[in-house]
Every structure is written in C-alpha cells, then in structure tokens.
Structure 1
Amino acid sequence: MSDVLIGAEGVTKRFGAFTAVDSVSMDVNPGEIVGLLGANGAGKTTLIRILLGLALPTEGTVTAFGRTPDRTTRGRLGYVPQGLGLWQTLTVAENISFAAAAFDAEPPVLEPALDAVEHRLVGKIGLGLQRQLAFTIALAHHPELLVLDEPTSGVDPLSRARLWDAVHDQAEQGTGVLVTTHYMQEAQQCDRLILMSHGYAVAAGTEREIIGTTTAVEVDTPHWAEAFAALDQAGLPVTLNGTRVRLADTPPTTVHTALTDAGITATVHEVPATLEEKMTVIDRQPTPA
C-alpha cells in the first residue's frame, strides 16, 4: 500500500436523493495506466473530483500520496479536466506562465505546433492544440501522478494517437496515470481497467479478465439490415460492427430462431465478446442493492 499514489475505499457521493458514485474502491500505482471506463453519466468525473480533493465524499475515504487530498498533494499531480482548465482570453504563453507560477516551476519548452501559436489567444486556436497545451501545462512541474478526464474527446485520430504516445512515455518514466474515457477501444492502452455504470464500479482488471468467458453471436447474411431489424424487434441486444450483426451473451439457438421466424436465411456462430459488448451485458444486469 505504500506505493499507492491515489486511492479510494468505499467512496459514495450523493447529491440529495441522487447517488452519483456508490461504494467505489480503486487505486493507482507508480508507472501504471489505469483506465476508468463508462458511458457519460457513469460517475467517472465525480469520482475524479473526489480523488483530487475538489469534492468531499458522502461516505468512504480517499488518500493521495498517503494523506487526505489537499493543496499540497495537488502540487504533486498533473490534471487535465474535461473543460481543459485553460483561460480562453489569455494567450498560449500567458496560460503557460500562469500555470508555471502556480506550481513554482519553469515554463516548459513548447512543441513546434504550440510555439507557432504562442502569442495567440487560446480561444482562437483549435481544440487539438488546446488539448496539447493543457497536457503540456499538466506535465510542466513533473508530476508523480497524471489525471486525465476524457483527454481525447473531440480530437482527430492522429492527435489521439499522439496523446496516448505521450501518456505511455510518462508511465515508462514511473508516473502513475488515471485516465477516464467512454471510448472502449482505448481500453487496450491501459494496464488495468475499472468499469463504471450508474455510479458503481461493476468490473475491474485487464481487458481479458473483464471479458472473461463472455461470448457473442455473429450473424453472417447479405441481408444484414433486415436481420438487425428483426433481432431488434425480438428484443435481443443486437449491435452492428460495420455490416456484421452481433449479439452479446445470447445463445446462438435464440438468434437462429428469431431470424428463422422473420424469414431471414443466415449463419450464426459464437465469437469472443468485445469489451464494449461486455459492458452492454453488465448494463443489462440489475444494479447492486
């Protein structure tokens, strides 16, 4: 436990009658990338705010670097919130100077793309450059823990890949990383995952551990649109992967019967489920009492 950078034990957060986070326990260790996954509204951002000491838990305990989160512990981490935390009416250089002064750090050397817009207002540069700037600022004081809340939301695939390269570079240097995302494919970038749904941590482990023995049924037919409509009409958990019709955690016989009843000729076979399909299965299960 002495290596834990940040952790929660039985954390619950209520807003009146609404429970945003319910009995969640988790931790992040040096040099590992922990992914906090879930749909919008799953409770990820609320949990992040509690871990950072920006909100108090209704129940449970939180520790950061072995103590209760406070101003001192926040000086040891880098944080990129969903809203990026940038001053839109200040220039790139002014944002950097402000953040460096706040953390008593030297202003970082800028990448060429940011250096080229150094004197432009942040509100006048693109979202990709804004995210790059926020990431640069978060790393300027060499944090021991990096917390990224939806860091790739709204950016192009190339920018997303570059950001993940930078995240892995930090982890290789011993920095712990906690990253939230609703992109299930980004799970493969993480060492360990925590899946959240409706405020609960519903699964934890590696991608393979979470998927476990869950399978999916794949439907082969040239009439994929009709097959999708028929299975959906039958109330089955059908999804599309390109033109491949898939159903998670559903017996092949059930799928075949529904297609036959609809007059659709198709071949069905079992395949390993994806993480997104596993999440669909979990979301269909009753939440803990």
Structure 2
Amino acid sequence: MSWTTSGPVRLMALTMAVTPFALAVLNHTGLQSVPLVITSPPPPALAFRQYAVDLKTVQPTTVVEASYVFENRSAKPIRIALEPSCGCLTPRLQGTRDNVIEPGDHGRVVVRMQPANTTPGPHEYTVNVKYTDTEPRETPLTLKLVVPRGIWVTPPALAVSHPLGSSPTVQDFTVTDGRGKPFEITDVSCNSDLVEAVIGESTRSAIGNYQQSVRVSIAGDLPTVQTNVVLKITTDDPDMGEIRVPLRLQGRVPTPAAESDQALDHERQKSSARLTSETIKPREQQSAENTPAEAK
C-alpha cells in the first residue's frame, strides 16, 4: 500500500519551510518596520487648579470673592492680561510682578464683585486670562452665583471714555429693593473729584418695588490714563449695607489727524483776524484824512 501527497499539501509544507529563511533575509538587509511617531502640540504654559467656581446663593449686600490658583509650567516668563465679561467684576493678579509670572512660580487670579450690583436670579460670569507662550492663548475662568431677591442697582457699573473737549456725562443709577421694604438713601460719595453725585427722589416701580435714584455727573475732561473709581451709596436700612458701584473713566488721546485739524483751524482763525485788522486799518486812516483841519 502506497501513500501519496496532494499538491496543496506539498505547497503548504514548502511555504512553512521557506518562511523562516525569507524573514531572516529581510532582517539581514535592514528592511524593518518603522514605528509610528505622533507629535502633540506643547501644552499651555499656565495650568489652573480650577477653572470654575460656583458660590451658590450669596448675600446681596456682601462683597463675594473667588480665587483661581495657577502655575507657570513653561521655561519662560509669561505676561498676563485679564478681561472680565462684566464691569461689575473686579479681577486682579496676585503673585506676579507687573503682571508677569516667572517659570515655575504660582499665582492667583482673584475676582471680586458685589451682588447688589446685579438683578436677582442665577448669574454666570467669565474672566478671560490672555497670554502668549508658543502661541496666543485665552483661558476662560467661570464664576457662578445666585442672587436672592433683595437689593440691586442698575446699571451695575459704568465705563466712560471721553474724546478731547467732551461735555460732562450725566448718568442716573437706580437702587431697587425687591423685599417690599421702604428705604432711603442717606449718603452718596465717590473717591474722585472727577465725579459728582446727587441723591434723587424715591418712587415705586410698576410691580410695587421701592426705588430711589442717584444722578452722577462725570467731568468732560478726563485723564488719558484709565482711572477706576467707586461710587458708594449708603441707606438707612441696616441690612442693606454700603452699595459700591465701579466706574471706569478714561479720556482719549487726540489722534495725529485731529491734532492736524486743530492746528489748521487755529491758523485759519489767526489768518482771518489778521485780514480783518488789515481791512479796518485803511478805513480808519481814510476817515482821518477826510476830516477837516479845523476838526483836527
């Protein structure tokens, strides 16, 4: 009895025998597989421990504060700028010098606000942290809180920018008490001579809330450097406390074109005055010449 091997079986056996030899040849000739390398962009220089703070329900007459700790994880100093989403926010940097954080150092962004400067209900604000490392970056920090029905001021803040030669700006602020309690503003003041404030009349809103106004007048001639001042409002309600309204004032530097136009107008005025003087003088001389000698 004889055994025979079919064609497919012989082909399989041949393949298994040749495969190790072929792999050895490929390895010897250097035809190896190349590993896949994936590069990722460098991470941001500033790393924050938290990017959002939720203060829940707050007291409307108390200044609230949130803090965001960060670290400069890059090898270079980073200059930081803060941009709040609302004028009622007062953000500032701690742990930096001239808004610059050194490599490896820790800093803090502290955000303050007075809930009495906003309407009751839930609110969400942001402060954008802007800086440049390998590229321009912007990191939003979020502040959430709920203001109970109580006291608020409208508008909550004011920013005024005056061009050169502007007239004073007049703005009315309204203090509203949603608790149904009457109150009276007893004093209003500001920590700048650029602002004058006068207490207005007490009224009631369409839904019965007690209100009183404060009229503020801001000087037309403002310094070109930004000036941050505070309007302080005091009432006879011991639960209301002192209400602080932030004001941001700045005068605009005249552009070269505006300065050129002003100089041109000045020269025109001088030229017009000179022409008028020259026109009047000959007439006076002529009148004197025509006067009879006896009258002289």
Q: TM-score, normalised by structure 2?
A: 0.22
Higher helix share: 1
Which structure has the larger Rg over C-alpha atoms? 2
Higher strand share: 2
